[in-house]
A and B are shown apart, each in its own frame.
Chain A
Amino acid sequence: MTLKINNEDIYLLIEEALQLAPKKININSKMLEIEEWDSFGHLEILVALDKKFNGKIASIDEMGSATTVKDIIKLLTLNKLI
């Protein structure tokens, strides 16, 4: 079932996962361009997404290499999660 989640919610989720101040993440944000979004930070994002989408993220193999906000949103959309 598609949750009523928009891009802003995803930005907020990533900010919380990386313990960033609000409004630090936007559609152009990328791994390694933000200090906290390193390989460890990336795992935090994956866990936060998996919790938010009730365990449906782990089966999306490509999510492991989605290192930009655009890629994450694209995969969520493709998999009909948002």
Chain B
Amino acid sequence: MSEDLSQLFVKIESIDYYLPKKIETIETLIKENPDWSIDEIKKKTGVHNRFISATNETALDLGSKAADKLFLKNDIRSEINALIFVTQSPDFVLPTSACIAQEKLGLSKSCMSFDVNQGCSGFIYGLAISSSLISAGLAKKVLLICADTYTKYIEKHDRTCRPIFSDGAAATLISKSKNSNIGPFELGTDGKGAMNLIVENSGARSSDKKDDFQKKKLFMNGSKVFMFSMNEVPKCVENLLIKSKKKISDIDLFVFHQASKVVMDNIIRRLNIPAGKVFCNYTDVGNTVSASIPIALKDAENKGIFKNNKLVMMVGFGVGYSWGATLMKWGGK
């Protein structure tokens, strides 16, 4: 019997995450960079601890560990028919991390598996794709893994990137729902900012100099990216509110990509959101790129902040430039 697709809703069934064992505190950074000011870095970034992957530990490893944790509580791996691996630090240019993870995690051969190359908007993009796959009847249960190890691309003395970025992975199980739903979505791109947050020499368009090929270095034009965030993210939130016929007062909790304190503070200021409605965990976790929103969702759940039927707005933004936002009722059946 065919399903009535108009009645198909999707929900986040569960989330788990994994962070590398090594923690780098702000004090460590100062020891290695005595000219940096601890107070200034704390004040601007708000990040006190970051997680650093081991030399031989990749986003694929972190993502697999996050999924393993998820399966420990509910081993439904045989039921998963789509695996989406969001990463910008894959083990290889090819094959995809998703294909390797499918085998590593013991997922069915009938499980479609593909990577999504997105950064800080990646979780929202992953949710949009998952939602579309389920609504179209192409999948019933989607495993969305968001994992990155940006710290491997960061130089020791890079004051713009090193105090912020952290390694980590989250695994999110998305499935059909009777009464809960994720959406609508607001997604956008402005490729004009592509060169403002980039890992140079990381793909086919590499430097002519052969030696440079190995120098995969993260570059961020902090002030340009900051201006993008201040300008585009509030517009994205406002567009989603219009699309969903909601007001800021209707939203119970906002979970933004955990970029850094200065970015979050100014987005909140520009949108005039009461501080109590915004969940932040960047102080202890850092900016884990696409994994930051699901990690924050899990932390909020662990802290008892979510109650059933709370309306949550999730907003991701960053490299590309790329952005996305969506709404979700927490804890639907």
Contact = CB atoms under 8 A, between A and B. Distances in A.
Interface string B38-50: 0011001000000
B224 A64 contact: yes
A66 to B, nearest CB: 9
Nearest to B220: A39
Contact of B223 (A43, A51, A55): A43
Contacts of A55: 270
B231 interface: yes
B221 A64 contact: yes
Given A43-B262, A50-B266, A58 B230 contact: yes
30 contacts: A39-B160, A39-B222, A40-B41, A40-B44, A42-B222, A42-B223, A43-B44, A43-B226, A43-B262, A46-B226, A46-B227, A47-B262, A47-B266, A50-B270, A55-B270, A58-B230, A58-B231, A58-B234, A59-B231, A60-B227, A61-B224, A61-B227, A61-B228, A61-B231, A63-B227, A64-B221, A64-B224, A64-B226, A64-B227, A65-B223
Interface in B218-253: 221-224, 226-228, 230-231, 234
A45 B224 CA distance: 13
Contacts of B266: 47, 50
Nearest to B229: A58
Given A55-B270, A58-B230, A43 B224 contact: no
Nearest to A67: B223
Main secondary structure on A side of the interface with B: helix
Interface residues on A, range: 10 to 19
B156 interface: no
Nearest to B262: A43
Nearest to B37: A40
A40 B45 CA distance: 9
B40 A40 contact: yes
Residue of B41, B44, B223 with most partner-chain A CB within 10 A: B223
Nearest to B263: A43
Q: Which 7 A-B pairs have the closest CB atoms?
A: A58-B230, A58-B231, A64-B227, A64-B224, A64-B223, A40-B44, A59-B231
B159 interface: yes
Contacts of A42: 222-223
Contact of B224 (A50, A59, A65): A65
A19 B318 CA distance: 29
A58 B160 contact: no
A67 to B, nearest CB: 9
Interface in A28-77: 39-40, 42-43, 46-47, 50-51, 55, 58-61, 63-65
Given A42-B222, A43-B222, A61-B231, 10 more contacts: A39-B159, A40-B40, A46-B223, A47-B266, A50-B266, A60-B227, A64-B221, A64-B223, A64-B224, A65-B221
Contacts of A64: 221, 223-224, 226-227
Contacts of A58: 227, 230-231, 234, 270
A47 B227 CA distance: 9
Contacts of B270: 50, 55, 58
B227 A39 contact: no
B271 to A, nearest CB: 10
Interface string B194-210: 00000000000000000
Contacts of A43: 44, 222-223, 226, 262
Contacts of B221: 64-65
Contacts of A40: 40-41, 44
A43 B40 CA distance: 12
Contacts of A39: 159-160, 222-223
Contacts of A51: 269
Nearest to B190: A61
A59 B103 CA distance: 46
